[in-house]
Amino acid sequence: MKKVRETNNEDVLASPYQPVNMGGTMFKSLFQTMHEALDEMTSLVAGGAIEDQQRWLSSWYSLRQLSDECIQEWLRFEEKLSSTYELFEDEYFSCELTPEWQMHFQRGEGYFKLLMFHEAFYQFSTILEAFPNYTPAKLYSALCLIQLGESRQALDQM
Protein backbone atom coordinates (compact mmCIF):
# COMPACT_ATOMS: atom_id res chain seq x y z
CA MET A 1 0.00 0.00 0.00
CA LYS A 2 1.16 3.52 -0.71
CA LYS A 3 0.88 6.43 1.70
CA VAL A 4 -1.44 9.10 0.32
CA ARG A 5 -1.27 11.83 2.97
CA GLU A 6 -0.79 12.41 6.67
CA THR A 7 -3.62 13.69 8.84
CA ASN A 8 -3.16 14.39 12.56
CA ASN A 9 -0.05 12.17 12.65
CA GLU A 10 -1.97 9.28 11.09
CA ASP A 11 -1.09 7.94 7.68
CA VAL A 12 -3.95 7.57 5.27
CA LEU A 13 -3.23 4.57 3.08
CA ALA A 14 -4.64 3.92 -0.34
CA SER A 15 -5.35 0.46 -1.59
CA PRO A 16 -7.38 -0.75 -4.56
CA TYR A 17 -10.00 -2.01 -2.12
CA GLN A 18 -10.36 1.06 0.11
CA PRO A 19 -10.55 4.28 -1.88
CA VAL A 20 -9.54 7.41 -0.01
CA ASN A 21 -12.41 9.85 0.54
CA MET A 22 -11.09 13.15 -0.73
CA GLY A 23 -14.10 15.27 0.23
CA GLY A 24 -16.74 14.90 -2.47
CA THR A 25 -18.98 17.20 -0.44
CA MET A 26 -16.69 20.10 -1.37
CA PHE A 27 -17.70 19.74 -5.01
CA LYS A 28 -21.35 19.19 -4.16
CA SER A 29 -21.35 22.45 -2.18
CA LEU A 30 -19.77 24.37 -5.02
CA PHE A 31 -22.19 23.04 -7.61
CA GLN A 32 -25.18 23.42 -5.30
CA THR A 33 -24.28 27.10 -4.87
CA MET A 34 -23.90 27.48 -8.64
CA HIS A 35 -27.30 25.82 -9.22
CA GLU A 36 -28.97 28.05 -6.64
CA ALA A 37 -27.48 31.21 -8.18
CA LEU A 38 -28.61 30.18 -11.65
CA ASP A 39 -32.09 29.23 -10.39
CA GLU A 40 -32.43 32.62 -8.72
CA MET A 41 -31.32 34.42 -11.88
CA THR A 42 -33.72 32.36 -14.00
CA SER A 43 -36.67 33.09 -11.70
CA LEU A 44 -35.93 36.84 -11.86
CA VAL A 45 -35.94 36.76 -15.65
CA ALA A 46 -39.03 34.55 -15.86
CA GLY A 47 -40.90 36.77 -13.41
CA GLY A 48 -39.98 39.91 -15.31
CA ALA A 49 -38.36 41.29 -12.17
CA ILE A 50 -34.99 41.95 -13.71
CA GLU A 51 -34.20 45.67 -13.54
CA ASP A 52 -30.52 45.58 -14.31
CA GLN A 53 -29.89 43.40 -17.35
CA GLN A 54 -26.17 44.29 -17.35
CA ARG A 55 -25.77 43.01 -13.77
CA TRP A 56 -27.65 39.81 -14.65
CA LEU A 57 -25.43 39.19 -17.70
CA SER A 58 -22.31 39.82 -15.63
CA SER A 59 -23.47 37.24 -13.04
CA TRP A 60 -24.32 34.77 -15.80
CA TYR A 61 -20.88 35.18 -17.41
CA SER A 62 -19.23 34.67 -13.99
CA LEU A 63 -21.08 31.37 -13.58
CA ARG A 64 -20.14 30.36 -17.13
CA GLN A 65 -16.46 31.15 -16.42
CA LEU A 66 -16.51 29.20 -13.14
CA SER A 67 -18.10 26.22 -14.90
CA ASP A 68 -15.48 26.34 -17.67
CA GLU A 69 -12.66 26.51 -15.10
CA CYS A 70 -14.06 23.45 -13.29
CA ILE A 71 -14.16 21.51 -16.55
CA GLN A 72 -10.61 22.56 -17.51
CA GLU A 73 -9.21 21.55 -14.11
CA TRP A 74 -11.08 18.23 -14.23
CA LEU A 75 -9.66 17.50 -17.70
CA ARG A 76 -6.12 18.36 -16.53
CA PHE A 77 -6.55 16.04 -13.54
CA GLU A 78 -7.93 13.20 -15.71
CA GLU A 79 -4.97 13.53 -18.05
CA LYS A 80 -2.53 13.39 -15.14
CA LEU A 81 -4.39 10.49 -13.55
CA SER A 82 -4.27 8.51 -16.79
CA SER A 83 -0.56 9.17 -17.23
CA THR A 84 0.22 7.77 -13.76
CA TYR A 85 -1.46 4.42 -14.46
CA GLU A 86 1.86 2.68 -15.23
CA LEU A 87 3.28 3.65 -11.84
CA PHE A 88 1.03 1.18 -10.06
CA GLU A 89 1.81 -2.47 -9.76
CA ASP A 90 0.23 -4.56 -12.51
CA GLU A 91 -1.14 -7.06 -10.00
CA TYR A 92 -3.77 -4.54 -8.94
CA PHE A 93 -5.14 -4.07 -12.41
CA SER A 94 -4.66 -7.18 -14.47
CA CYS A 95 -3.28 -10.66 -14.70
CA GLU A 96 -3.07 -13.30 -17.38
CA LEU A 97 -5.65 -16.07 -17.32
CA THR A 98 -4.77 -19.58 -18.41
CA PRO A 99 -6.95 -21.09 -21.17
CA GLU A 100 -9.00 -22.92 -18.53
CA TRP A 101 -9.77 -19.68 -16.71
CA GLN A 102 -10.39 -17.86 -19.99
CA MET A 103 -13.09 -20.43 -20.67
CA HIS A 104 -14.79 -19.52 -17.34
CA PHE A 105 -14.58 -15.87 -18.30
CA GLN A 106 -16.06 -16.45 -21.75
CA ARG A 107 -18.89 -18.49 -20.22
CA GLY A 108 -19.54 -15.70 -17.77
CA GLU A 109 -19.69 -13.15 -20.57
CA GLY A 110 -22.04 -15.41 -22.52
CA TYR A 111 -24.38 -15.82 -19.55
CA PHE A 112 -24.23 -12.07 -18.95
CA LYS A 113 -25.23 -11.33 -22.56
CA LEU A 114 -28.12 -13.78 -22.21
CA LEU A 115 -29.22 -11.93 -19.03
CA MET A 116 -28.53 -15.07 -16.95
CA PHE A 117 -26.97 -13.08 -14.14
CA HIS A 118 -26.89 -15.82 -11.46
CA GLU A 119 -24.95 -18.13 -13.77
CA ALA A 120 -22.67 -15.31 -14.94
CA PHE A 121 -21.95 -14.28 -11.35
CA TYR A 122 -21.00 -17.87 -10.50
CA GLN A 123 -18.45 -17.97 -13.36
CA PHE A 124 -16.88 -14.65 -12.41
CA SER A 125 -16.83 -15.54 -8.70
CA THR A 126 -14.99 -18.76 -9.52
CA ILE A 127 -12.34 -16.74 -11.36
CA LEU A 128 -12.03 -14.28 -8.47
CA GLU A 129 -11.36 -17.10 -6.01
CA ALA A 130 -8.19 -17.91 -7.97
CA PHE A 131 -7.41 -14.37 -9.22
CA PRO A 132 -8.83 -11.89 -6.68
CA ASN A 133 -7.35 -8.87 -8.49
CA TYR A 134 -8.64 -9.69 -11.98
CA THR A 135 -10.43 -6.43 -12.72
CA PRO A 136 -12.66 -7.57 -15.63
CA ALA A 137 -14.13 -10.37 -13.48
CA LYS A 138 -14.63 -7.95 -10.58
CA LEU A 139 -16.44 -5.53 -12.85
CA TYR A 140 -18.69 -8.17 -14.39
CA SER A 141 -19.43 -9.62 -10.93
CA ALA A 142 -20.47 -6.20 -9.68
CA LEU A 143 -22.66 -5.65 -12.75
CA CYS A 144 -24.33 -9.03 -12.17
CA LEU A 145 -25.01 -8.13 -8.55
CA ILE A 146 -26.56 -4.82 -9.59
CA GLN A 147 -28.83 -6.65 -12.03
CA LEU A 148 -29.77 -9.05 -9.23
CA GLY A 149 -30.73 -6.14 -6.97
CA GLU A 150 -27.69 -6.45 -4.72
CA SER A 151 -26.26 -2.93 -5.17
CA ARG A 152 -24.60 -2.79 -1.75
CA GLN A 153 -22.83 -6.10 -2.32
CA ALA A 154 -21.82 -4.89 -5.82
CA LEU A 155 -20.13 -1.87 -4.27
CA ASP A 156 -18.27 -4.13 -1.85
CA GLN A 157 -17.20 -6.30 -4.80
CA MET A 158 -15.24 -3.44 -6.29
pLDDT in tens, 95-138: 677 788 888 888 888 988 888 889 999 999 998 898 888 888 88
Tell whether 77 and 15 lie within a shared domain. yes
Instruction: Give me the pLDDT at residue 50, please.
Output: 63
Please say whether the beta carbons of 105 and 97 come within 8 A.
Answer: yes
Task: Give the chain's domain count.
Answer: 2
Tell whether 11 and 70 lie within a shared domain. yes
Instruction: Give me the pLDDT at residue 2, please.
Output: 43
Instruction: Give me the pLDDT at residue 85, please.
Output: 55
Q: Which of 87, 118, 147 is a domain's end point? A: 87
Tell whether 76 and 36 lie within a shared domain. yes
CB atoms within 10 A of CB 144: 25
- Candidates 16, 28, 8; CA nearest to 91 is 16
Q: What CATH code is carried by the domain that includes residue 111?
A: 1.25.40
Instruction: Give me the pLDDT at residue 88, please.
Output: 56
pLDDT along the chain (158 residues), means of 10: 43 44 66 86 72 78 88 79 59 65 87 89 90 86 86 74
Give the C-alpha separation, 72 to 97, whole Å.
Answer: 39
